[in-house]
Amino acid sequence: MHTEFQRVATALDRSAVTLVLTGAGVSAASGIPTFRGADGLWRKYRVEELATPGAFHRDPALVWEWYQWRLGLVRGSAPNPAHTVLAELGTRFAGLWIVTQNVDGYHRQAGSRRLLEIHGSLQRSRCLECGTRKPTPLQPGIPYCSCGGMLRPDVVWFGETLPVAALQQSLELAQNCDLFITAGTSGLVEPAASFMSIAAANGALTVEINPIPTAVSNQATVLLRGEADQVFPAIWSILEDKI
Ligand code: OAD
């Protein structure tokens, strides 16, 4: 087996605290579009029309139509081997945490529990009047709360702040982990884009899983050039066989 894969498997086995940062590429094998690839969402749609508080204020029906389309894709597919192996790793290693920028909810669905969804979840909505959170109904049109208030997707839009507790915990994990793995993210969106340099500055072994170079590749000690749904199972099989 490839020595770099072996190195990461051994590091996982010895790690007290591992932080795995995931992005859209981890869900690509489930058929969920990424944001900046060839068929990426931001190549076809404009952020300012669909993913800002102002866009929702101007045209909530349009914004909901887009989120319902995305939710339909997510509910019509399923977690892939990257999600299921990460959930297995979380069961095996009590110090492993996942911080995800993804809003599809697939890590939770696959069984990961030490999980921080720093961009929220499109599986959940929040009432603009009473603040209640509830599962997003898959239905055409604008959904409403039982109190009569309009629901919005419980995701973080551009110009909004990230959930404070989840962000704080992510930063602490980045500072305290001894192994940091970034998978399927272009490393272009803050604050997650800075997590690897924080981890590296505090002495963690840094690993990138991505088929192509990214904005943060130069901060990674180990580069695993491949697709997350194949790389994670390969690491898992080393752990199963040899350690
Ligand atoms: P991007 O679309 O920017 O990047 C996806 C990354 O995944 C790219 O580097 C691809 O090379 C890589 N990739 C593609 N297929 C892969 C595979 N099978 N396995 C591993 N990697 C693969 O997505 P993110 O970095 O997640 O924010 O985007 C970050 C944020 O930007 C999103 O959370 C979203 C977006 O605007 C908000 O909506 C707030």
180, pLDDT greater than 70:
yes
DSSP reduced 3-state for 21: strand
Is 21's C-beta closer than 6 angstroms to any atom of ligand 1?
no
Triad 26, 80, 40: Cα angle to 5°? 40
Is 214's C-beta closer than 6 angstroms to any atom of ligand 1?
yes
- Residues 195-208 have pLDDT tens digits of 999 999 999 999 99
2, pLDDT greater than 90:
no
CA of 132 from ligand 1 middle (Å) equals 30
CA of 229 from ligand 1 middle (Å) equals 14
CA of 130 from ligand 1 middle (Å) equals 33
Atom 6 (ligand 1) nearest CA: 185
Atom 14 (ligand 1) nearest CA: 25
Instruction: Quote the tokens at residue 235.
Output: 């690491």
CA of 202 from ligand 1 middle (Å) equals 25
243, pLDDT greater than 60:
no
pLDDT of res. 168: 98
Locate the ligand 1 atom nearest the alpha carbon of residue 23 and give its number: 26
- Residues 20-47 have pLDDT tens digits of 999 999 999 999 999 998 889 988 888 8
pLDDT of res. 71: 97
Atom 21 (ligand 1) nearest CA: 184
Residue 22 to residue 98: CA distance in whole angstroms: 7
Buried-exposed string 69-105: b where 16+ CB fall within 10 A, e elsewhere: ebbeebeeeebbbbbbbbbbbbeebebbbbbbbbbbb
- Residues 85-103 have pLDDT tens digits of 999 999 999 999 999 999 9
Atom 18 (ligand 1) nearest CA: 227
pLDDT of res. 241: 87
Residue 63 to residue 127: CA distance in whole angstroms: 15
Locate the ligand 1 atom nearest the alpha carbon of residue 214 and give its number: 9
Residue type, 17: V
- Residues 61-70 have pLDDT tens digits of 999 999 999 9
Instruction: Quote the tokens at residue 76.
Output: 């019509």
pLDDT of res. 42: 87
pLDDT of res. 45: 86
The residues annotated as belonging to the active site are 119
1, pLDDT greater than 70:
no
If you average pLDDT over residues 184-212, what whole number do you get? 97
